[in-house]
Homo-oligomer: A and B are copies of this chain.
């Protein structure tokens, strides 16, 4: 499947790479330090053929790197590249949302916390280039430098529809 339609969209582009039902869970495993085929399988329940296929895709997309590992038999470790580690924000946003809207306060199975204080992370907030937090209602979508005509029209229509933030 290829999810792109009239206008170029970084969200659609990202979902084309990591938007299937298993890929983000595999990447979660990589963050948890589960970096071997059998380990990922045990921790997720994904079937062998699909895991094999997804790992190959993730390596091809530059998100994981496959490295020979000294152990019994044929064995490898899959490490996150920088591109893969950058998905931490996506996983973090999903974790926060799952905690807040599925499990609810007081029932969170896993939390992000500040190491030193052990205090939970509250949210992921947009920050500008100086690292300052920008309020949600002050953020909007705009056409970027790579916008094509379809994208510009789409965003103009959306703005007109009173959409967004």
Residues of B contacting A83 with CB < 8 Å? Answer: 101
Q: Tell me if A3 and B44 are in contact (CB < 8 A).
A: yes
| Interface size, chain A (Cβ < 8 Å) | 96
A77-116 interface bits toward B, Cβ cutoff 8 Å, 1 = contact, 0 = none? 0000001001111111111111111110011111111111
A45 CB–B CB distance under 8 Å:
yes
Contact of A112 among B44, B139, B148, B161 (CB under 8 A): B139
A6-24 interface bits toward B, Cβ cutoff 8 Å, 1 = contact, 0 = none? 1111111111010111101
A54 CB–B CB distance under 8 Å:
no
Q: Which of A56-96 contact B (CB under 8 A)?
A: 83, 86-96
Q: Tell me if A94 and B11 are in contact (CB < 8 A).
A: yes
Q: Tell me if B134 and A103 are in contact (CB < 8 A).
A: no
Q: Tell me if B32 and A111 are in contact (CB < 8 A).
A: no
Q: Tell me if B32 and A163 are in contact (CB < 8 A).
A: yes
Residues of B contacting A122 with CB < 8 Å? Answer: 127-129, 131
Q: Tell me if A33 and B126 are in contact (CB < 8 A).
A: no
Residues of B contacting A101 with CB < 8 Å? Answer: 83, 86
Q: Identify 23 residue pairs between A and B in the complex whose beta-carbon atoms are under 8 Å apart, listed by A's number.
A: A3-B25, A3-B45, A5-B43, A10-B95, A10-B99, A10-B102, A11-B95, A12-B28, A13-B102, A14-B102, A33-B158, A89-B96, A89-B97, A92-B93, A107-B145, A107-B146, A109-B143, A111-B141, A112-B140, A112-B141, A113-B142, A124-B126, A125-B131
